Amino acid sequence: MPHHINLNGKNYHKNTLQLLLGKHNIEHETIQAEYQILAEAVEHPFHLPYLIEQIYHKEISDEDTYRLALLRVQIDAELHMSEDIQKYQQRKYVAQVIERVVYGNLMLEEHTPSTDDGDEYIAE
């Protein structure tokens, strides 16, 4: 079983494509261009500055499915962070930057509780 899949002359890790598509079996899957760009950015985080314009202008066929791919990368990165902290921090960063560029915010944004909500207990 090959560990790489060649698409348009570029090799991508099969595991990366499986993660992005959310499927274990991608042997005969047609992988759309927006996922190929995303795979390149995830596998090679230092390419992101050179891919950002393509990502920004790329027509996304199914925005919900694409966002879920970005979420899967972030979740996977958190789960594997202890294995290789630098690699998985970079992958998470790439997914978060792309999500912000495409959607304007993060679905998994970490919120800090506000202290100005008026629900504070005042001792007498």
Whole-angstrom distance, CA of residue 109 vs CA of residue 39: 22
Sign of the CA dihedral running 9, 31, 59, 87: negative
- Residue 64 burial (C-beta neighbours within 10 Å; 0-12, 13-18, 19+): exposed
The answer to whether residues 38 and 20 touch, using CB atoms and an 8 Å cutoff, is: yes
In tens, the pLDDT along 18-54 reads 999 999 888 766 899 999 999 999 999 999 999 999 9
In tens, the pLDDT along 4-13 reads 888 888 999 9
Prediction pTM value: 0.83
Identify the CA nearest to 91 among candidates 49, 44, 55, 58: 44
83 φ/ψ angles, rounded to the nearest 5 degrees: -75, -45
Domain boundaries defined on the chain: 4-103
The torsion of the CA quartet 91, 85, 25, 59, rounded to 10 degrees, works out to 0
Residue type at position 47:
H
